[in-house]
Structures are given as C-alpha cells and as structure tokens.
Amino acid sequence: MTVAATIGAPEAGRVMYEGLRRVHTEAESVRDIASLGAGAYAYTDAAGSHIVTYDANLYLTLTAAPLRLNANPDPALVEPTSRVAASALSALHG
C-alpha cells in the first residue's frame, strides 16, 4: 500500500480533490465514500484500488496494488484502505 500526503495552504486539499476528481470521473468508475474527511472517493484501475480524500489543507491518496505484474487489482481492498485513510487523516491532523 502506498500513502501520499500533500499539505498546503488553507483549502488547498479541496482544490486538488475537486480537480483530480473531475479527471478520475472521466476515466474511471468513481464511488463516493461517506464519512471520510471532507470528501472522499474510490476507484479501481490497472494500477490498483485507490482512495482519494481531503480535509482542509490535507490531501491524501492511497493505493493498494498487487505485487505481481499483470495481476488484477482487488476492488474489495477499498474498505480496508478507507480505514487506513481515516487513520492517516487523524494522525496528520494530530
């Protein structure tokens, strides 16, 4: 699993989230995730299962990817990955 956090100016997380959500919505099937940050969604592509979330100036992306080349990503990883995202948001807001 890869977790990438970006911390910026106030409301920077929302700007990144909204911009990339438009891009992901055009290319992938995006599913909203309730009760995670100020906004969150999930999608699965060839690279893995992804969670994207933000809260104020914090923007997180999490990717659960298979270790074997050409293995299919498992969409069932979205739920446990969202728990990791909630923990990361909480810890980084600390």
How confident is the model at residue 94, as a pLDDT?
Answer: 54
* Whole-number Å distance between alpha carbons of 15 and 79: 25
The radius of gyration of the chain from alpha carbons, rounded to an integer in Å, stands at 13
Give pLDDT tens digits along the chain (94 positions): 889 999 888 888 899 999 999 999 888 889 999 989 999 999 988 888 899 999 988 999 999 887 877 777 777 778 888 888 999 888 887 5
How confident is the model at residue 37, as a pLDDT?
Answer: 93
